[in-house]
């Protein structure tokens, strides 16, 4: 990361009326949250599709709940890092003209103080009833292998978007609008290969002139780099606070 690139990014932000941020697993990895898929593509010997798909849940809901209870237990032990707090600080500057779109399901952005968050892949904190469809925040306490809805005693599932499922329209549509209307899009801690989340970058670049400036903040260049107007490479927990400080 060069000072020149940091200055350019800060200048663009200073002039921006609206700002959108897309975050991914890299932000939470700096807090100690493991990335979803292991290097061999398996979780404890199971295919990810067996523990993160509607078909896998239908076959063995106990296995799926064990997987998510383990993820919930891990998230309970970690805290937001300086990158999370820096994004919350940026939101204070723009208020409701700042939108944080995250692929992460750990709730760390909210814990850091961010408010205008669109969790496009769901949240580990929430459950959804397959009978009455009620969605509730259940915190991070273990829920066992067969949790029931406290309202109708129906079967509960994690409120997570699984492989093969569409993103919820009430979350995805505002994300598209935020990307289209922003003057600066920060792409933080994501390789921009998971769709449809990655499509927010060309949406921002394809808006009416002038197109949004895209600032990539990652450890190394990624697929997002070819769309970025500037790249700030390094841990987001270090880069984002420097960006906030440069803004003044």
DSSP state for residue 20 in the 8-state scheme: E
Q: In terms of pTM, does the model score above 0.85? A: yes
**Whole-angstrom distance, CA of residue 45 vs CA of residue 109:** 31
Residues 219 and 101 in one domain: yes
Q: What is the pLDDT of residue 117?
A: 98
Does one domain contain both 62 and 21?
no
Strand segments, DSSP code E, in 83-202 are 98-102, 117-119, 122-129, 135-137, 156-160, 184-188
User: What's the alpha-carbon Rg for the chain, to the nearest Å?
Assistant: 18
CATH number at residue 38: 3.30.1600.10
> How far from the centroid of its chain's Cα atoms is residue 221's Cα?
19
pLDDT over 80 (residue 1): no
Q: Is 107 helix (H, G, I), strand (E, B) or coil?
A: coil
Q: Is the pLDDT of residue 209 over 80?
A: no
| Catalytic (active site) residue 121 | yes
Q: Which residues constitute the domain of residue 147?
A: 34-77+123-160
Same domain, 21 and 141: no
| Predicted confidence band of residue 39 (pLDDT cuts 50, 70, 90) | low
Residue with the bigger pLDDT between 225 and 19: it is: 19
Residue of 121, 125, 153, 227 with catalytic role = 121
- Domain total in the chain: 2
Q: Are residues 86 and 179 in the same domain?
A: yes
What pLDDT digit, counting tens, does each position of 170-181 carry? 999 999 999 999
Q: Does the pLDDT of residue 2 top 80, yes or no?
A: no
Q: Please check whether residues 63 and 102 belong to one and the same domain.
A: no
């Amino acid at each position: 990361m060069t000072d020149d690139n940091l200055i350019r990014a800060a200048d663009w932000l200073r002039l921006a009326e609206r700002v959108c941020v897309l975050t991914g697993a890299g932000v939470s990895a700096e807090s100690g949250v493991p990335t979803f898929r292991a290097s061999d593509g398996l979780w404890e010997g199971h295919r990810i599709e067996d523990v993160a798909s509607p078909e896998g849940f239908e076959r063995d809901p106990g296995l799926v709940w064990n997987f998510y209870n383990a993820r919930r237990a891990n998230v309970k032990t970690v805290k937001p890092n300086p990158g999370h707090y820096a994004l919350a600080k940026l939101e204070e500057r723009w208020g409701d003209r700042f939108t944080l779109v995250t692929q992460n399901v750990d709730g760390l952005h909210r814990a850091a103080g961010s408010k205008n968050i669109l969790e496009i892949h769901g949240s580990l904190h929430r459950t959804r009833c397959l009978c009455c469809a009620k969605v509730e925040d259940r915190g991070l306490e273990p829920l066992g292998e067969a949790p029931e809805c406290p309202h109708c005693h129906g079967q509960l599932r994690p409120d997570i978007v699984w492989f093969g499922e569409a993103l919820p329209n009430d979350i995805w549509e505002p994300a598209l609008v935020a990307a289209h209307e922003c003057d600066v899009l920060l792409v933080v801690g994501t390789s921009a290969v998971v769709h449809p989340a990655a499509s927010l970058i060309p949406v921002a670049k394809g808006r009416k002139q002038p197109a949004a400036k895209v600032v990539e903040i990652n450890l190394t260049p990624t697929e997002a780099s070819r769309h970025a107007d500037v790249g700030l490479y390094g841990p987001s927990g270090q880069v984002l606070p420097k960006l906030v400080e440069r803004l003044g």
